[in-house]
Amino acid sequence: MSDDPGLVTFEDVGTPERDKPPFVRLPEPARLFAARAERFAALAPGHQLEAYLGFLAGLSRAQAALAGAIDAPAPPSLHELRFRAGNAMPVLPREELASDPAVSMAFDRLAALLTDIAMPDIARAALARAVAAEPEARQAMFAAVLTDAVPVEAVAEHIFAAAALQVVAARRSALIDPALPQPVADGVCPCCGGPPVASAVVADLHVEGVRYVQCSLCAVQWNHVRVKCVTCGSTKGIAYQEIEGIADTIKAETCDECRTYVKILNRRKAPELEPVADDVASLGLDLLVTEAGWRRAGVNPFLLGY
């Protein structure tokens, strides 16, 4: 049991993993964002964050439309991709996206798609500022998202920048050979080098009971051993925290070695769970776990203000 009265701690070794599940699973961008929009919309009614979740449903629908309308940036040569994979490097490094014209064009198209989306006045004003920003300022905004260095006073603008970056990165990663990405380092996406948003135990055909970590940027999922810290790779001091009295399908996997945590979703029990949407909706779990002394290791661009 945890020392925190609001949390329940227990060990869950789960069922044995399948032999040699695919290391990575690539996203299907249009379907990804459409499913996320549906999940945000389903979570919103009656939730403490109802207005925000409803806004994110609209934003995700716009992302889905954008994903079906834009072309992916030109990928590096196959030689370069193989070189990066063979040297434990992300095959499509995310830093390059900040200056890619495709990202700025995607941002403008996303802004146009958001014209009729309901959002708070403060968000509408932030979007207008981002659209009007000079090229250098816009590139700096993208770079801040990609380096996880978003200024507190400009969170709203950067949420829209992150939304455009997610679509471009997902479109780009969807086109590579899934056999190319190789393990890079603990807590690092093998495709773009981004941090995780959350992890999930899946119930898909051939990989039932296997855990995948999802990238917060490009949405690539990579296989990760259960009961092992996503951040530091330790198998010691791993525990699972949940909010007492709440369904046990979303927990925080905490590590006493590095004092970080990453959420783990049980899609075997609740297939409708979606890493980004349910991460936002379970913000209460973050608050309890951080108060108990752990630091969030994952990144969710839609939680930048929390």
Confidence of residue 279 (pLDDT cuts 50, 70, 90): very high
Mean pLDDT, range 61-90, rounded to an integer: 93
Measured in residues, the chain has a length of: 306
**pLDDT above 80 (res 11):** no
Mean pLDDT, range 144-159, rounded to an integer: 92
Give backbone dihedrals phi and psi of 151, rounded to 5 degrees, phi first.
-70, 140
Mean pLDDT, range 256-285, rounded to an integer: 95
Torsion of CA 169, 170, 176, 177, to 10 degrees: 140
According to CATH, what is the number of the domain 7-23+180-303?
Answer: 3.90.1670.10
Using DSSP's 3-state secondary structure scheme, residue 219 falls into coil
Q: How far apart are CA 41 and CA 122, in angstroms?
A: 21
DSSP structure string for 122-160: HHHHHHHHHHHS-HHHHHHHHHHHHTT---GGGHHHHHH
Torsion of CA 303, 220, 62, 130, to 10 degrees: 60
Mean pLDDT, range 93-111, rounded to an integer: 94
**pLDDT above 90 (res 204):** no
Chain-wide mean pLDDT for the chain? 90
Of 288, 303, 195, 199, nearest to 249 (Cα)?
A: 199
Instruction: Give pLDDT tens digits for 28-62.
Output: 999 999 999 999 999 999 999 999 999 999 999 99
Confidence of residue 71 (pLDDT cuts 50, 70, 90): confident
Q: Which two tokens stand for residue 254?
A: 């905490």
Residue 57 · residue 87 · CB < 8 Å: no
Q: How far apart are CA 63 and CA 50, in angstroms?
A: 20
Q: Which amino acid is at 124?
A: R
Question: What's residue 147's pLDDT?
Answer: 92
Question: What's residue 263's pLDDT?
Answer: 96
**pLDDT above 70 (res 14):** no
Of 23, 63, 22, nearest to 39 (Cα)?
A: 63
Q: Candidates 3.40.630.30, 3.40.50.300, 3.90.1670.10, 3.30.565.10; correct CATH number of 43-173?
A: 3.90.1670.10
Question: What's residue 112's pLDDT?
Answer: 97
Q: Where in the chain is the domain with CATH 3.90.1670.10?
A: 7-23+180-303, 43-173
What's the predicted TM-score (pTM) here? 0.90
Torsion of CA 278, 131, 66, 177, to 10 degrees: -80
